[in-house]
Amino acid sequence: MGYENTTDNVLYKIRIIDLFTLDQRDIRVRYSLLLDLHNAMQDSNINYQLPQFPKKEYLKTLFGENKVIKKREQKIGEYFQQLLKCPPPNHKLLLDFIREGVDTIRQQELLKEVSSKQEILKFFNSERVLEKGQFGKTTLYSVNGKKIILHKFYVMQHQSDQFFQAYIKAHLNIFDFSLFTQVISIFYIRPKANFVDSMLGQVKQPKVSKKTNIFTHFYPKHIRVEAVKIFSLEEYEGQNLNEVIKDRKNKNKPFTLDELLNIIQKILQAIIQLHKRNIFPNRILPTSIIINNESVKLASIQEPNAKYKEKYLLEGYAIRTEQEFDVVYYPPEKMSQQFQQLNGRLIDSWHFGVCILMAALLYTNKELDGIHSCYQVDKFANQVQLLYGDVIAEIIMLSLKQQPHERADIRELYFLANQTAIIKFHSTVLNQQERTQITYLKINTITQEQLESLQQLIQKSPILSVKINLYKQEIDQQEFDKLLQLLGNFAEVKYFQMILNKTQNLNFGNLCVGLQKLKQIKRLSLDLKGINIEKEDIDQAKD
């Protein structure tokens, strides 16, 4: 327990600690709210006597004010200790307060009543539009030397209150503003209440947008869906990752290992905080990662129009628009039309992996086209490995696994990112050794001409990543053995993928012998579906 003595209120600070995750949060509440909680719990437990709630002693002198407040704070602390030690039979209200209780002061800061846009903008200087799309607009302003973003989100009228409350709830549960940009306020623009509204306690409904075609893609044309605007103000100090990547690409100045590692660790720490509070999945894009020197923060958490943007993109409406290649940010299970249970935490792992891959290679989303292929992810990871070493490449590989059950979650990625001894070792090695280029080789048939061409290639580029696709082909075992012998004797094959699905005349024993000859192989992938393997072949492979 603790307290804050403001000009007009005494606020009692309660720290709630989750003993499973060791996560903690502070909430500030007034005496009157705690008294209301006590009375409500007593009403729902008529035959059970709760501990006595500390009475409010009215202050007679300013001199004794702090002493009285301190004494009351101590008594409230003792009250909660007794309550938690022997909770009442009907303890739902107590549990709800502990689990869902919010900082009432932060809640007041977030919720703002606004009757016109000019009411807010008269204090701001407009700088530029950061983003403008079908479902909203983001504009950068400055006020008193600080940068502020005004978000405008279009949402369907019948879903507006649901999305508004979810947006508020998410930001009431974000406390660490060293990892997150701070949302200053969230509001509708409502007409001012008149005298009758005030007397009856009625609240004016938000203004309906004049735009009538925002959601035409989602409903038949004869059905009119009204749109409502939700606004928020969010701090913005620095540049988003997308802007940083463009600047560095123009200057041909990639991130150093330490810089990239700092971005990885800060983003993972932020996502872990979100997951602890059950805030997922999150639409994490390079534009929502804000970098200011060594400071790295996540922004745009749980935006109300995120589901519309996703639906618009995944259902193919964004083709031939600027958003067309944003599809790379979504994992394969999101792209699938088949119904399946989605794991929001693992979706966040994919978002994270794409952002880090873009930062490592200074790529645009268009240059990541094909990322939903295992082979393409391998190629990207190999490029990262040459630049930053095995640990960063492994983080990207594990976050971009095509199958959700194979993908690493955020905690596993964070553990890997903190292997500092390994990372420093790789940093030293990369600074001392010449970076060798890997050549990507794809083979669809095996002929004598192909073998001669391969031998010439190996003389120029001995380090290879090989993909062999012999699907439904009839194999010449002699030529096949020569290929494996050639790769084993004269090349270093780092990554090897072979598709032998339904091939004919394959000698499994010879295949295993040939694979044993491959040098320094890191990843091996074999597809042997539809092949009959005799016991004698297995015995030969064991020998």
Tokens of 141: 């302003």
- pLDDT score at 435: 44
Query: Do residues 290 and 410 share a domain?
Result: yes
Nearest by Cα to 284 from 264, 269, 265, 298:
298
| Number of domains the chain contains | 4
**163, 14: one domain:** no
Residues 8 and 109 in one domain: no
Residue 262, pLDDT score? 94
Do 388 and 291 share a structural domain? yes
What's at 205, amino acid-wise?
Answer: Q
Whether residues 38 and 61 fall in one domain: yes
Give the H/E segment covering residue 148. strand 146-156
Regarding whether 325 and 176 lie in a shared domain, the answer is no
Distance of alpha carbon 477 from its chain centroid, rounded?
48
Q: In terms of domains, do 274 and 378 share one?
A: yes
* Cα separation values, 140 from 129, 239, 340, 398, Å: 6, 11, 39, 36
Pick the closest to residue 380 from 371, 392, 388 (CA basis).
Answer: 371
Burial class (CB in 10 A: 0-12, 13-18, 19+), 177: exposed
Query: For the residues of 495-507, what is the DSSP string, one character each?
Result: EEEEE-TT-BS--
Distance CA 410, CA 345 (A): 7
In this structure, what CATH number is given to the domain that contains residue 51?
A: 3.30.1520.10
Residues 94, 207 within the same domain: no
**Residue 161, C-beta contacts closer than 8 angstroms, at least 6 positions apart:** none
Looking at 396, 420, 435, the residue that finishes a domain is 435
d(CA 344, CA 448): 50
Q: Which of these, 31, 168, 44, 163, lies nearest to 96 by C-alpha position?
A: 44
Alpha-carbon distance of 467 to 377, in angstroms, equals 13
Q: Which residue's entry shows tokens 């339904």?
A: 502
The tokens describing 444, both together, are 């669809």
Q: What is the CATH number of the domain that holds 155?
A: 3.30.200.20
Do residues 359 and 296 make contact, with C-beta atoms less than 8 angstroms apart? no
- For position 65, what pLDDT does the model report? 66
Amino acid identity for residue 400 in this structure: L
Residue 521 pLDDT: 80
Dmax over CA atoms of the chain, in Å, equals 102
- Within 13 Å of residue 59, how many CA atoms lie on the same side as its CB? 14
Cα separations in angstroms, 147 against 124, 287, 527: 10, 16, 54
User: Tell me: the pLDDT tens digits for 169-224?
Assistant: 999 989 889 999 999 999 999 877 665 555 555 667 888 888 878 888 887 776 77
Tens of pLDDT, residues 45-63: 999 999 999 887 665 445 5
Helix axes 344-361, 410-417, angle to 10 degrees: 40
How far apart CA 32 and CA 27 sit, in angstroms, is: 15
My answer on whether 428 and 443 are in the same domain is: no
Q: Both 490 and 532 in a single domain? A: yes
User: How many residues make up the chain in this entry?
Assistant: 543
Q: What pLDDT does residue 7 have?
A: 46
pLDDT for res 16: 81
Q: Helices in 202-256 by DSSP H: which ranges? A: 241-251
Backbone angles phi, psi at 502, to 5 degrees: 60, 25
Same-domain status, 167 and 277:
no
Dist CA 280 CA 273 (whole Å): 11
Residue ending a domain, choose from 382, 410, 435: 435
Decide: 382 and 237 in contact? Cβ < 8 Å. Answer: no
CA distance 204 to 219: 27
Residue 465 is part of which domain span? 439-542
What residues of the chain score a pLDDT lower than 50? 7, 60-61, 420-435
Which of 435, 467, 502 is the C-terminal boundary of a domain? 435
- The SS3 call for residue 151 is strand
Same domain for 119 and 218: yes
